[in-house]
Amino acid sequence: MLRNTLLKPVDTRRWMKPVAHTADVTFSVGRPWEIKRVTLSTGHVVDVYTKEGDLGLYAGILALVPDFDIGFVVNAAGGKSGSDSVLVSSVLSDMIVDAFLPAVEKVAEQQANKAYAGEYTAAAVGSKLNSSMVISTKDSGLTIESWISNGTQILEALPLLLPVKGLQLYPTGLRKRVGKGGMKVGWRAVLEYPLFGSNNGSFVAGPSDTWADNIEVSYGGVTANDFVFELDGKGQVVNVEPRIMRATLGKL
């Protein structure tokens, strides 16, 4: 399913989405998914798409985690009634989620750090522009630490327009194969707002507001938060293109 061998990528993405939310903020439903929202110790929320079923003394759970491109299956049998197997499969599923998701997130962070983190410059692709960017895996995500475009400090200018503290990058899922085994992947820069609010707590703006108030600045039909990374055949990043700047920065 996650490799899109059963359905086209666009159909798979459409299929693996919530159809309705419930009164429980940690549980949503899809077609046919039972979607459990798990909050990791880092504060990240991960959706686990599950499908449970039972017949007689047998029960099973299929679970998929699209954020990490992983899945698992639990099958149980035996006991005095079918409810015993349902309980066992459910408990084992929760144990797997609790034990493995934090470890998988850590591995994902290490892989992202190896592939994406570092310094990118225009000079690395033969350009004379004074343009560069530094990306790290701060706060368990890709963060733009420094961004200079033709001599202008972009991150220093942002607070003059909006009350933000930085830019964090999120994958869009868009990708295109290039060259011999290479690939271009699309990312979006999302504003990081500091927490603030009224004294009585009736209004608070924070991380959740970044998705509602995304960057709307555009130039020549390209939004300011549109980034494209090019990876080689080994999965290592070669360059990054902040598309609004019409420039390519090579990874040092």
Q: Are 242 and 215 in contact (CB under 8 A)?
A: no
Which tokens go with 134?
């530094």
pLDDT for the residue 26: 92
Q: What is the mean pLDDT of residues 223-243?
A: 91
pLDDT for the residue 204: 44
Rounded CA-CA distance 1/15 in Å is: 10
Query: In 3D, which of 229, 224, 230, 228 has the Cα closest to residue 244?
Result: 224
pLDDT for the residue 19: 95
pLDDT for the residue 44: 84
pLDDT at 135 over 70: yes
Q: What is the mean pLDDT of residues 92-117?
A: 92
- Residue 131's SS3 state is coil
Q: Are 75 and 60 in contact (CB under 8 A)?
A: yes
Which tokens go with 146?
């420094």
pLDDT for the residue 225: 84
Neighbours of 118 (CB within 10 A): 15
Q: For strand 132-136 and strand 58-65, is the pairing parallel, antiparallel, or unpaired?
A: unpaired
Rounded CA-CA distance 215/227 in Å is: 13
Place of tokens 């499908």: 51
Indicate the pLDDT class of residue 202, thresholds 50, 70 and 90. Answer: very low
> How many residues make up the chain in this entry?
252
pLDDT for the residue 222: 85
Whole-angstrom CA distances from 132 to 127, 129, 153, 167 are: 11, 9, 10, 15
Query: Taking all residues of the chain, what is their mean pLDDT, rounded to a whole number?
Result: 85
pTM of this prediction? Answer: 0.79
Q: Which of 40-49, 175-184, 193-202 has the lowest mean pLDDT?
A: 193-202
Residue pLDDT, tens place only, 4-34: 899 998 899 899 999 999 999 999 999 999 9
pLDDT for the residue 190: 81
Q: Are 77 and 58 in contact (CB under 8 A)?
A: yes
